[in-house]
Amino acid sequence: MIDTDSSSVQTTFASLHKVIMANQHDDITSCHTDTDQTFPRSEMNQDRIYLDYNATTPLEPEVIQAISTALQEAWGNPSSNYIAGTKAKAIINVARENVAKMVGGKAEDIIFTSGGTEANNLVLHTAVEHFRRSCEPAEREEGQRNCQNGSAGLPHIITSNVEHDSVKLAAQQLQRDGKADVTFVPVSKVTARLEVEDVIATVRPNTCLISIMLANNETGVIMPLQEICQRIKSLNKQRLRPRILLHTDAAQALGKIRVDACELGVDYLTIVGHKFYAPRIGALYVNGPGERTPLYPMLFGGGQERNFRPGTENTPMIAGLGKAAELVTSNLSDYESHMKSIKVYLEERLKAVFEEKIHFNSHYPGSDILPNTCNVSILGPQLQGWKVLSNCKRLLASIGAACHSDSGNKPSHILLNCGVPAEAAANALRLSVGRGTSKADVDVVVEDLKDTVQLLEEMD
């Protein structure tokens, strides 16, 4: 039987993490970019300090407890009428309410998915399918005329050149398959933001979707989503249907800054649990799915999630997602202020130690930045980011997005697109603090970096 006592559960998971880390110690020392295999210091070898919270986060103890309780008491099929099934359905309903509250929506606006990648793909699939179905049958058969005003063109998608691969590659695949045209609008090399006027300038009569991340995972730059949505809604009033749909991938923003889908004005918002101390499961906010906002399934099956995403629900992971969302709603201001103060201290210590060698890749004039993200380069010919991390004895961090860890030691295309010089981008370290990161942790990390830089420079 599973012991659901909170202290027992926490002890069990902490012990498990220590075993995992002991087995993987050598691998982590040689490659710090495999970020999904690392855990924060409190859960692992006490010599290591984890500063890669933009890659993934551990589970909060309350989240572990919610998952454990669901595994033990709500193991039934949520579609069944007996008690284990009805308990599962009740847990899912509560979780749906909590996730909706976190993003300023209603419970009926939340569709649970396997993660952010599925949610993002579902939005792009929907936009193209909705455009196709909105065209008159005769015009669809011609294949040469846009259903809106008779102009030639496939459905057109607008996104940025700094998106997560689950948007970028999905859009590129639609383009290769001849199902859509895609415009990747470049961010400003001064502000690293997507400028509103640049987006508006790319709108076409056949534009069906604009998909822009809320905050960048490498620079921490927060995009002007609300302004973009306001401008597009004004354009939509002047257009014939179908309207331009609006989507944001909010993976990096949730749990760090306030996110309200209604205030932003989006039709879709992607939710990724493992970025805010929940398990690896996700959800998609849809403003009135199937009614105010179209949503077309990619999967077909038993009718779960109102047929938008069929498949027997993963009750324990949904329970964990709901609990994590509840914690965000209750504690966001504390989380945000703590992370911001620690990040400021980290940047101050880095400047004090490395002086003119330091180059911040997350400082841009006029742009707001996530409270936890510090992307920094220590300048020098032998101080490439991968080399520094490979020689650090205490720090666990990354040189960029975890999903790009197989791209070798090339500079991040995200940083290059944001105007970071190539020599600085090659040396980049993405340091992202978490809810439990302390000033003492920062002191240890900066000393570790100082020793590592000295070692590499002496080897040169």
Integer Cα distance of 163 and 93 in angstroms: 32
Indicate the helix (H) or strand (E) that contains 385. helix 385-391
Angular region, 305: left φ>0, alpha ψ -120 to 50, beta rest = left
109, 286 Cβ separation under 8 angstroms = yes
Mapped onto helix, strand or coil, the DSSP state of residue 411 is coil
147 an active-site residue?
Answer: no
Amino acid identity for residue 16 in this structure: L
**Among 95, 91, 90, 156, which Cα is nearest to 128's?**
156
Q: Among candidates 424, 405, 408, which has minimal Cα distance to 416?
A: 424
Nearest to 416 by CA among 367, 372, 377, 386: 377
Identify the helix (H) or strand (E) that includes residue 339.
helix 315-354
CB 214 within 8 A of CB 223: yes
Closest by CA position to 193, among listed 364, 429, 361: 364
Residue type, 270: T
Q: Where are the beta strands (DSSP E) in 150-267?
A: 156-160, 181-185, 207-211, 245-249
Task: Determine if the peptide bond prior to 242 is cis (ω within 30°).
Answer: yes
Token pair listed for 369:
């930045």
State how beta strands 268-272 and 282-286 pair.
antiparallel
Integer-rounded Cα radius of gyration of the chain: 23
Alpha carbons 256 and 141: distance in angstroms, whole number: 48
Catalytic residue among 229, 374, 403, 418: 403
CA–CA separation, 105 and 195 (whole Å)? 27
Q: How far is CA 449 from CA 32, 337, 341, 393, in A?
A: 14, 25, 20, 9
Q: Which residue has the tokens 């999905």?
A: 170
Query: What are the structure tokens assigned to 74, written together?
Result: 């709500």
Amino acid code (one letter) for 179? K
Paired sense of beta strands 395-396 and 49-50, if any: parallel
Which DSSP helix (H) or strand (E) runs through 113?
strand 110-113
Instruction: Output the CA angle 250-255-260, nearest 5 degrees.
Output: 55
Which residues are marked as active site? 403
